């Protein structure tokens, strides 16, 4: 896949899946804007691992709408265009309905939706304005298997990802006439800090048994699907949702 001189903005690219996508796009010739929220050291390390030149760190908390706007403004100032937006940044908060008080419940919903859904909607809007003017682009959203199978301990997470799927499919229809293609990658458990930092040996064993592969996805495998959907020849896949979950949850 050739992304030579493409301007690619990836949210949450300091580590995990976003980092793997940044490395993959850079190795195909893209100029990558590496957004992150707070872990500057990790973001700098990611930047140092990107091949080629023309990459830039963009620290912004995208859950704040003014910061999302500033992120797109900074990116356009740097590259003069935005060809590909990858809405990857996400958070998962445990908030069990039978365990926590109302304040904690309401705050988990607010924080999760602001990062996982509202930020993606705002960034998609802002990026689309530039893509419409420049004649097209790609928006790839990183959702989750949890959108389909239910997330009993993290219900806001599951709902945010189901919302992200619906947002993506609505925009795929609305923006096709502007040559803006919108698609989704829905990973299952992927070997990143987000997935592994809360695992106990017992929960890890249960998770591994969910898939006949008996392993987690590698971030590079998810990145590969992101690059495919962002590639020129995948335009007609607009609106699709690609599962990368090792056959752990098969939708009909
Ligand atoms: N890992 C999995 O098993 C799995 C499974 C299904 C779906 N996913 C989805 O894949 C995506 C990436 O997950 P991951 O496992 O790679 O996560 P991760 O390792 O926790 O990394 C999350 C990234 O998002 C950034 N981020 C979080 N909130 C942000 C905000 N408000 N503004 C800007 N950046 C923000 C973080 O920046 P800082 O480090 O600076 O805070 C970090 O770069 C998420 O959308 C997640 O829901 C993951």
Q: Cα-Cα-Cα-Cα dihedral of 222, 235, 161, 144, to 10°?
A: -20
Burial zone of 209 (CB within 10 Å; 0-12 exposed, 13-18 middle, 19+ buried): exposed
The verdict on the CB of residue 194 being under 6 Å from ligand 1 is: yes
Q: 7-244: CATH homologous superfamily?
A: NAD(P)-binding Rossmann-like Domain (3.40.50.720)
Q: Cα-Cα-Cα-Cα dihedral of 232, 234, 236, 240, to 10°?
A: -140
- CB atoms inside a 10 Å sphere around CB 105: 16
- CB atoms inside a 10 Å sphere around CB 94: 12
H helix intervals, the chain: 16-27, 40-48, 65-79, 102-113, 119-134, 146-149, 155-175, 193-196, 201-209, 219-230
pLDDT, residue 195, reads: 86
Q: Rounded to the nearest 5 degrees, what angle is found at the Cα of 209, between the Cα atoms of 206 and 213? A: 145
CA gap 120, 222 in Å, rounded: 18
The verdict on the CB of residue 39 being under 6 Å from ligand 1 is: yes
CA of 177 to the centre of ligand 1 (A): 31
157 in active site: yes
Pairing of strands 31-36, 241-244: unpaired
The verdict on the CB of residue 115 being under 6 Å from ligand 1 is: yes
Atom of ligand 1 nearest to the CA of 114: 31
Q: pTM value?
A: 0.98
Largest CA distance in the chain: 52
Tens-place pLDDT, residues 67-100: 999 999 999 999 999 999 999 999 999 999 999 9
Per residue of the chain (252 residues), give pLDDT as tens. Answer: 889 999 999 999 999 999 999 999 999 999 999 999 999 999 999 999 999 999 999 999 999 999 999 999 999 999 999 999 999 999 999 999 999 999 999 999 999 999 999 999 999 999 999 999 999 999 999 999 999 999 999 999 999 999 999 999 999 999 999 999 999 999 999 999 888 888 899 999 999 999 999 999 999 999 999 999 999 999 999 999 999 999 999 998
The verdict on the CB of residue 147 being under 6 Å from ligand 1 is: no
- CB atoms inside a 10 Å sphere around CB 53: 7
190 dihedral zone (left: phi>0; alpha: psi -120 to 50; beta): beta
The DSSP code for 150 is: -
Q: Cα-Cα-Cα-Cα dihedral of 30, 143, 91, 139, to 10°?
A: 40
pLDDT, residue 148, reads: 98
């Amino acid at each position: 896949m050739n992304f030579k001189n493409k301007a690619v903005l990836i949210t949450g690219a300091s580590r995990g899946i976003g980092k793997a996508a940044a490395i993959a796009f850079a190795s195909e010739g893209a100029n990558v804007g590496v957004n992150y929220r707070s872990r500057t050291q990790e973001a700098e390390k990611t930047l140092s691992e990107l091949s080629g030149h023309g990459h830039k760190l963009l620290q912004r908390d995208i859950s704040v709408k003014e910061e999302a706007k500033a992120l797109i403004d900074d990116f356009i100032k740097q590259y003069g265009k935005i060809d590909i937006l990858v809405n990857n940044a996400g958070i998962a908060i445990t908030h069990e309905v039978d365990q926590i008080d109302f304040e904690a419940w309401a705050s988990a919903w607010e924080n999760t939706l602001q990062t996982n859904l509202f930020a993606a909607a705002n960034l998609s809007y802002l990026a689309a304005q530039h893509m419409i003017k420049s004649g097209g682009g790609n928006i790839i959203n990183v959702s989750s298997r949890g959108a389909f199978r239910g997330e009993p301990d993290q219900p806001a997470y599951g709902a945010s990802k189901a919302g992200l799927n619906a947002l993506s499919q609505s925009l795929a229809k609305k923006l096709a006439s502007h040559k803006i293609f919108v698609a989704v990658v829905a990973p299952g458990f992927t070997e990143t800090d987000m997935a592994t930092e809360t695992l106990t040996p017992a929960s890890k064993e249960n998770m591994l048994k969910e898939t006949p592969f008996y392993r987690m996805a590698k971030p590079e495998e998810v990145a590969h699907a992101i690059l495919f959907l962002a590639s020129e020849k995948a335009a007609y896949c607009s609106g699709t949702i690609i599962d990368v979950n090792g056959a752990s949850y098969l939708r009909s």
